[in-house]
Chains A and B, each alone.
Chain A
């Protein structure tokens, strides 16, 4: 069993839809939770970063962490074609990032 599980998709939604991306993890020692976005043929870039359980909002993006359930989510409101990318959850422990497999998202105009 991988330490971080993420449904690889692909996920296809119409423009304007609300997107929900999720990861589960098994290691309760994880302290920091991140979402990276990776466009095709590019390196990952940090999108959201949270430490504690609860919600964090940044524009159209909301990151949610539930440590008791070992579950994190990323919500994208009013999705745009420019949001089409692979979204990777990541968790940090001991100086390294443990990534989920990434969910490929396509937003159709």
Chain B
């Protein structure tokens, strides 16, 4: 029974396209995140939501728009994809927005822009 699940697992698309990644957690957590991991394995926060409210927006281009329809779901829509957007995107959740508790990560979505 997967705690944090993302779809799709792999995404290959052309430059200029628009794509979405979906995330769902069944842990009853209030806080959800999007992280980006680059080719050097460097993991950086993009957004965090607490009870459907945006808490952190870490200077991410406007082409990235997160949406949280309810506290169990956090989707990421990306417009006008660029080569530099190629990375692994991880969704995560935690019980509190302070993150002094464990963050549970999904398995990642490997995005390749060609």
A99 to B33, CA, bound (A): 14
Among A31, A46, A49, A101, the residue within 8 A (CB) of B41 is: A101
A97 to chain B: closest residue by CB: B99
- Considering the complex, which residues of chain A in the window 62-109 have a beta carbon less than 8 Å from any beta carbon of chain B? 86, 88, 92, 94-99, 101-102, 104
Q: Mark B51-67, 1 if CB is under 8 A from A, else 0.
A: 00001101000000000
Find the residue from A44, A96, A98 having the highest chain B CB count within 10 A. A96
Q: Choose the segment among B11-19, B68-76, B78-86, B103-111 that binds chain A (4+ C-beta atoms closer than 8 Å).
A: B103-111
Given the contacts A86-B41, A99-B43, A99-B44, A44 and B105 also touching, CB distance less than 8 Å: yes
For residue B48, CB closer than 8 A to chain A, the reply is yes
Residues of A within 8 Å of B104, CB to CB, are 45-46
CA distance A100 to B58 in the complex (A): 17
* Alpha-carbon gap, A41 to B92, bound state (A): 16
Q: Are B40 and A8 in contact (CB under 8 A)?
A: yes
| A42 close to chain B: CB less than 8 A | yes
A residues near B92, Cβ cutoff 8 Å = 43
Asked if B4 lies at the interface with its beta carbon under 8 angstroms from chain A, I say: yes
Q: What chain A residues lie within 8 Å of B105 (beta carbons)?
A: 43-45
List 21 A-B pairs, Cβ < 8 Å.
Answer: A43-B92, A43-B105, A43-B106, A44-B43, A44-B105, A45-B105, A46-B103, A51-B100, A86-B41, A88-B43, A95-B55, A95-B97, A95-B99, A96-B58, A97-B45, A98-B45, A99-B42, A101-B41, A102-B41, A102-B42, A102-B43
A residues near B, CB below 8 A?
8, 31-32, 38, 41-46, 49, 51, 86, 88, 92, 94-99, 101-102, 104
